[in-house]
Structure 1
Amino acid sequence: MKPSLPSEFLHRPIAHRALHDISDQRPENSRAAIRAAIDAGYGVEIDLQRTRDNRAMVFHDYDMTRLTGQPGPIQQITETQARAQTLLHSDGEGIPSLEEVLALVAGRVPLLIELKDQDGAMGPDIGALEADVVSALKDYEGPVALMSFNPHSVAEIARLAPHLPRGLVTSSYEPKVELLPQAVCDHLRNIPDFDRVGASFISHEVIDLDRPRVAELKAQGVPILCWTVRSLEQEAEARKVADNVTFEGYLAEHPA
């Protein structure tokens, strides 16, 4: 029996890449942004990439230029080097490891963890990141859920840690946006792998929430999260379909 998404993920708005604001030295996925989200009572969403030595780091991009000013893939440096790599617009913070973030959150708020695709085209060349994530979560206590665009990644999480709630990140899958082959986008667009990978929920692109497949899953009782909401007005519209929102750029409303 697949695990359910903890109810906490449906009651607290989730800060996308944590509650980031570079004007306050809180870049995305930083410790400062995570602390701010916790202090505000929001859930936290983070992204994971792996280093050359297969350690899970809290970082969104494959290339480090946008977030650190230093070019090159994060997969080509070690964990030690990543921790020493200063994030732009921060108070001297390095890239945090997953283990650091788990210790920081410590179960105080729901933690939604996205594993970025490590295959390059949503294929089966994955495994190292998933293994390190599951290892890091072995003794973690608190509401946590894992998700990925790549169904192979979600299936691997189910194999390694069947007790951990996992879901699929889903979207309209436009090839020019996702930088993926048309055939891959056409396959993934209607979420065909939901049952196969033992997913417990989806987190769907907010501008595509009217997709019939989303309505079908919702009718089956599947929790629907969504990304990325950027205003109170968009949040109100999204909540007509989604059970909860992942937001950035404003302060989401806490449900009564």
Structure 2
Amino acid sequence: MVLRAILFLMVLLISGCRSTNIEVIAHRGASGEETENTIAAIKKAIELNTDAIEIDIWRTKDDSIIVFHDRHTARLSNDSLIIPEAYFADLRNLTLKGNRKIPTLREVLEILPDDMKLFIEIKCCWEVGKAGEVFPMLSELLEETGKTSQAVIISFNPDKLVEASDFLPDVPTYWLVWENKPVDELIEKALDYGVDGLDVNYGILSNELLSKASMNNLEIYVWTVNDPVLAEKILAEYPGIKGITTDHPDLIKKIVIQK
């Protein structure tokens, strides 16, 4: 009787802690709860125990790597500065929505738990000259903070992903895609650029894409899914995806765990 009771309790514990291979990535931190790409948003995502966090990075005029999405600050701040043309001190002095500040990448890396991935989108991927040269600094910073093994590089510019692999050969790279192009074209280009997979807008998901990606050892991530009903539909129709990026990691995590 005692053994049977112990086994029953073990079954309950296992079912209550059911794991999944589908990763939930907090978009710009838990941006549905806190101001995007801020330390508050990162801490909230950590608190919600998401699988990974996605952030955006730029190189400033005085060679700092900062975490911010837009090329200029007007949408979130009390002033409008062009990030690759601005000094870090001036960017730091801005007040963002929610009375937050623009963080450096180092500050994010220093609070990142050792078991959590960090998806780093290269926002300066289309900049010319020094403003676009981020990888020597990024690779050094990841090494200094001991976070290289947790990093994932994503970009809409596949040329930048080739550059990423030159400096960070062991870090996975994923090509961000939003255009509904022919699947064969997407697969061929991904293979040509040597990326590990595609990170696509959920609107262009298809069974053909998943099937041909799998045949070519390419993984598929999806962005940005905030509606739990939509997340449930995607998981039901496309069980082969690797992960879902969302502003609300707590809501989407519940759906993923149920599957």
Q: Is the 8 A contact 2:161 2:174 kept in 1?
A: yes
- CA distance in structure 2 between the aligned counterparts of 1:134 and 1:83, rounded to whole angstroms: 23
Q: Which residue of 2 aligns with 1:74?
A: 83
* 1:216 lines up with 2:202 in the alignment: no
Q: CA deviation at 1:154?
A: 0.4
Unaligned runs of 5+ residues in structure 2 are 1-18
- CA distance in structure 2 between the aligned counterparts of 1:220 and 1:126, rounded to whole angstroms: 34
- Structure 1 residues 124 and 74, CA gap change in structure 2 (3 angstroms): closer
Q: Which residue of 2 aligns with 1:233?
A: 229
Matches within 5 A, 1:22-171: 26-42=34-50, 43-90=52-99, 93-119=100-126, 127-139=132-144, 140-141=146-147, 143-171=150-178
Q: CA deviation at 1:218?
A: 2.9
Identify the structure with the greater helix proportion.
2
User: TM-score if structure 2 supplies the norm length?
Assistant: 0.78
**For 2:125, what is the secondary structure of its paired residue?**
coil
Larger radius of gyration: 2
Q: Give the number of aligned pairs.
A: 230
* 1:19 lines up with 2:30 in the alignment: yes
Runs of 4+ with deviation above 3 angstroms? 8-12, 123-127, 211-215
Q: CA deviation at 1:125?
A: 8.8
**For 2:126, what is the secondary structure of its paired residue?**
coil
Deviation digits for residues 222-251 of structure 1, max 9, x if unmatched?
221110002111112222322210012572
Q: Is the 8 A contact 1:18 1:30 kept in 2?
A: yes
- CA distance in structure 2 between the aligned counterparts of 1:20 and 1:77, rounded to whole angstroms: 24
Q: Percent identity of the aligned residues?
A: 24
- CA distance in structure 2 between the aligned counterparts of 1:9 and 1:155, rounded to whole angstroms: 30
- CA distance in structure 2 between the aligned counterparts of 1:103 and 1:199, rounded to whole angstroms: 27
Q: CA deviation at 1:10?
A: 4.7
Matches within 5 A, 1:187-198: 190=186, 192-198=188-194
